[in-house]
Structure 1
């Protein structure tokens, strides 16, 4: 005698609801949490792997997500308006949207690279980079200023293979 088994339909991972009374405590705890703990919270709250961005980004997005799960997300009208504004910016070109979202570090991010015993700090701007008080259009130009030779700036600052590390 064989038994027919019913297969359960695949379900999207469920994300726990957050009681509104817990929001303030959870938001305050983000500031003192270790990076591995923030990444685990990301996995729990987004049901996905965390992106390879800095602590500030993780805290910001987790803060929003905690509030979103407790109080609800954006209204559909707001989402539609934001999408329309985004299309005005990039003309609805998903390639531009991907480049802007994935390849450029978030404005305000500090990139630090030690070279020949000296730590060099670069700040990411909305349009380019700042190094030693001067604006630069590319990380390669900054790497050249530091080393005196031609470098791929993304590789020099350790950003080239960040997708592989994610």
Structure 2
């Protein structure tokens, strides 16, 4: 019986994209701001060599801006990429799904949340374990929103954040 040779499927090689001259970077980044979405998608195909993801304009702009700079100035060194991968595995045990989920959606300490309510501007500073409002610590944004409005509010909603931490 003749032996059947198995072939490994060939992977399509990554497209070769020409480097971008550093002198062109600022102009190209500025042009992203006013480019129609169709042009952004065309640039995506040219710079990434694949179809653009079905995400919003801001996402496409930010990724294109990074790619333009990467092609002009160079990307991360392989050692840096390897180090980041190793750190990620320490945090999530190599679970790619967990890697995509931010462990804590709480704003970073030092972030200032600003909300105008009844014509008054209210400023909250995020701290490591609590929130500072008018020089006093609060354990939650909901407590601050209640203090400001006199009614119950979801603090994350009141301050314009998408959702609760971990949600």
Unaligned segments of structure 2, at least 5 residues: 1-13
Superposition CA RMSD, Å: 4.3
**Alpha carbons 1:90, 1:97 under 8 Å: kept:** no
Please show how residues 77-156 of structure 1 align to structure 2 within 5 Å.
77-92=79-94, 94-95=97-98, 98-100=101-103, 103-105=105-107, 108-125=110-127, 128-156=130-158
1:71 aligns with 2:61: no
Describe the shift of the 1:105–1:26 C-alpha distance in structure 2 as closer, same or farther (beyond 3 A).
Answer: farther
* Partner Cα distance (1:39, 1:130) in 2: 42
TM-score by length of 1: 0.53
Point out which structure has higher relative CO (alpha carbons under 8 A, 6+ apart): 1
* Partner Cα distance (1:39, 1:109) in 2: 33
* Partner Cα distance (2:151, 2:68) in 1: 46
* Partner Cα distance (1:107, 1:120) in 2: 17
**Alpha carbons 2:88, 2:99 under 8 Å: kept:** no
> How many equivalent pairs are there?
135
Describe the shift of the 1:38–1:156 C-alpha distance in structure 2 as closer, same or farther (beyond 3 A).
Answer: farther
* Partner Cα distance (1:67, 1:76) in 2: 17
Counterpart secondary structure, 2:90: helix
Of Structure 1 and Structure 2, the greater helix share is in: 1
* Partner Cα distance (2:143, 2:70) in 1: 41
Describe the shift of the 1:15–1:158 C-alpha distance in structure 2 as closer, same or farther (beyond 3 A).
Answer: farther
TM-score by length of 2: 0.53
Q: What do the CA deviations read for 1:28-48 (whole angstroms, capped 9, x no partner)?
A: x76xx9xx5499798756855
